[in-house]
Structure 1
């Protein structure tokens, strides 16, 4: 009798909602891993019925992964990273159309990102491109502060600059597209060939160059300015610069994956991360972008875009798969990550 009762109890427990297996969410995060972990932890704390499997990949790597998995998607949601690869994924219909009810709460640039993509992506944050340099290294070596793109060609900076590879990094692709828009394509590639003589390494991650500068491994990293600011806030001798000729900017984005295995869980995270409460967590993780929700608080350390000469960045053109492929093919042929040559 006792055995039968125990079996019955076990059977009822197996059917009980309290012990039902939690739902899954497969998330790729293309921002800094610290903010990725912060958001996932906060989401799971408020959604105990969803387990998030998070992988950190650069935006270029994520785009390639979604293409490779198009027939059998293993990813449900892609959060963060520059908007260009998100737009490319949208054009390839790798991501799902979704008009969020939260759109009226978002900044115009975030909504525009959604409109341009046919509502297959949305803006979650923005920030301008620039660089951060190690003031101690520059002082020790007697180097002049570089205020403009042209200053980065100073022969005294040979071996002192790092920038990511645009094939893997959305940050570096934004830099490539920015220079093309400022200078014209041929002059931009002439500039990049000259800059290459001063580059010590092309990194995989967009934020890695300024982290290397913070550690004293290089003098300067070309990055989004908020990535440089985060190193300063952590106490490193990094000064952030917005180039005098003008600069581009990113609209960090978020996309639901077409054919996702867990679409409801993905939408739950999608809507939660657009709230001001979620976006206000970002500075706590050392992330100093401008948030997309109008009611979110912009940290005082965030670079003031009104004081930066921003170009009219053509997201539609440079976010197209054909244009990206063409520019990267030329970069591979003429620069190819051969640092210092």
Structure 2
């Protein structure tokens, strides 16, 4: 009898049976969500199925680069979490495999749309809006005005007080770059990024690192997905969360099976399990405040209300394409990152 850790229901029993029937008994799991959530997902699946899970946590940009580097000899089986853009690029470049889960009919339309745009080589597992958070104590100590818009972060008084990740390594930061291009137009979007660069104190590797630093009092403003800022606030840190007044982009966090996965049956079993409400509800145990893709999963009352946020019509197909993503990143490298601060 398999041990099932906080997971029940007919849908889960079905995938457990499939996992039992599979010959594979291990899974190499690449995770691009927060560390504690990654570990909980790995442990939850391992407890539910008896399949031994080896988990590696890296940002979505880093994971994409790793899967690409390993494409001639794939080592990973499944990639879970992180922004959808690099998942879409991986699908376009043939780095991930087509799979249609029997759990699909339980998902929100936006999750299925993500799959359809990639030839069913990825699928949406959660969504969340881009924004920023700031440390209220540091804001007051530095006599800074309360920001409420993207444009506020360009004010000279915020020099050295803003932090974001590097868009080459972080899906969050690439979403920020792609959002500005869509919100303001490409030329003005890059002007914004150049103006922001003048106020940046550090480009981090991880997308959530800037708001964690703000929570610790090491940074004032962190550009992140709003749910990451909410986590800091709920954890008791003096963080205010901002949905920028001009409008903002959003992510569809995604999951993909690696093309040529050595443990394909285990990967498919994980894929089905990860789409179940029981697995998605595990997010609540680690204060992950994204909106889950399964319509029957629970959304925390603390999660940002997506219907109350001014969202742009984010073009995932275009900005998740290999050509567009590589072009924008090169332009950021050539025109923004080299500027003096």
Same fold (TM over 0.5): yes
Name the structure 1 match of 2:164.
163
Instruction: Provide Cα deviations, 1:66-112, integer angstroms capped at 9, x if missing partner.
Output: 11111110000000000000000000011000111111100010000
Shift of 1:22: 7.9
Change (3 A) 1:22 1:255: closer
For structure 1, the residue ranges without an aligned partner over 5 or more in a row are 1-20
Structure 1 residue 337 displacement after superposition: 6.5
1:205-216 to 2 correspondences below 5 Å? 205-216=206-217
Can you list the C-alpha shifts for 1:119-167, whole angstroms capped at 9, x where unaligned? 0000000000000100111111111111001100111111000000000
Instruction: Provide the residue aligned with 2:8 in structure 1.
Output: none
**Deviation of residue 41 (structure 1)?**
1.3
- The aligned counterpart of 1:33 is 35
Q: 2:143 matched to which residue of 1?
A: 142
Contact 1:202/1:337 (<8 A) preserved: no
| Between 251-260 and 136-145, the greater mean CA deviation after superposition | 136-145
Whole-angstrom distance in 2 between the partners of 1:324 and 1:79: 20
Q: Deviations over 1:158-217 (max 9, x none)?
A: 100000000000000000000000111111111111111110000000000000000010
Deviation at 1:283, TM superposition (A): 1.7
**Residues 168 and 204 in structure 1, CA contact (< 8 A), matched pair in contact too:** yes
SS at match of 1:312: coil
**How many matched pairs?**
319
Which residue matches 1:15? Answer: none
What TM-score does the superposition give when structure 1 sets the normalisation length?
0.92
- How does 1:251-330 map onto structure 2 within 5 Å? 251-330=252-331
What is the rounded CA distance, in whole Å, between the counterparts of 1:321 and 1:22 in structure 2? 32
Contact 2:194 2:336 in 1 (8 A): yes
Equivalent in the alignment of 2:106: 105
CA root-mean-square deviation: 1.1
Assess if the C-alpha contact under 8 Å between 1:230 and 1:287 holds in 2. Answer: yes
Tell me if the contact between 1:110 and 1:124 (Cα under 8 Å) persists in the aligned partners.
yes
Partner of 2:15: none
Which residue is 1:44 aligned to?
A: 46
CA spacing shift, 1:152–1:214, aligned 2, 3 Å: same
- Asked if 1 retains the 8 angstrom alpha-carbon contact of 2:24 and 2:263, the reply is no
> Larger Cα Rg: Structure 1 or Structure 2?
1
Looking at structure 1, the residues matched to 130 and 49 of structure 2 have their Cα atoms a distance apart, in angstroms, of 35
- Separation in structure 2 between the aligned mates of residue 259 and residue 46 of structure 1, nearest angstrom: 25
Poorly superposed stretches of 4+, deviation over 6 Å: none
* Separation of aligned partners in 2, 1:185 and 1:87: 21
